Amino acid sequence: MNSDTPKIRVLLVDDHFVVRTGLASSLGLEPDIEVVGSASSVDEAVKECRTVQPSVVVMDWRMPGRNGVEGTQAVRAVSPSIRVVLFSAFDSEEDIYSAVQAGASAYLTKASSRAELLHAIRTVSNGDSFYPAAVAARLAARIQRQEVTPREKEAVLLILRGLSNKEIAVELGVSEATAKLHIAHLMTKLGARDRTHAASLALRRGIVRLD
Long-range contacts of 117-121 (CB under 8 A, 24+ apart): 117/58, 117/85, 117/87, 118/27, 118/30, 118/33, 120/85, 121/8, 121/10, 121/27, 121/33, 121/56, 121/58, 121/85
> What whole-number distance in Å separates Cα of residue 211 and Cα of residue 202?
14
Query: What domains, with CATH codes, occur in the chain?
Result: 8-143 (3.40.50.2300), 150-204 (1.10.10.10)
Give pLDDT tens digits along the chain (211 positions). Answer: 555 678 999 999 999 999 999 999 999 999 999 999 999 999 999 999 999 999 999 999 888 889 999 999 999 999 999 999 999 888 888 889 999 999 999 999 988 999 999 999 999 999 999 999 989 998 888 888 888 888 998 999 999 999 999 999 999 999 989 998 989 988 888 888 898 898 888 888 888 887 6
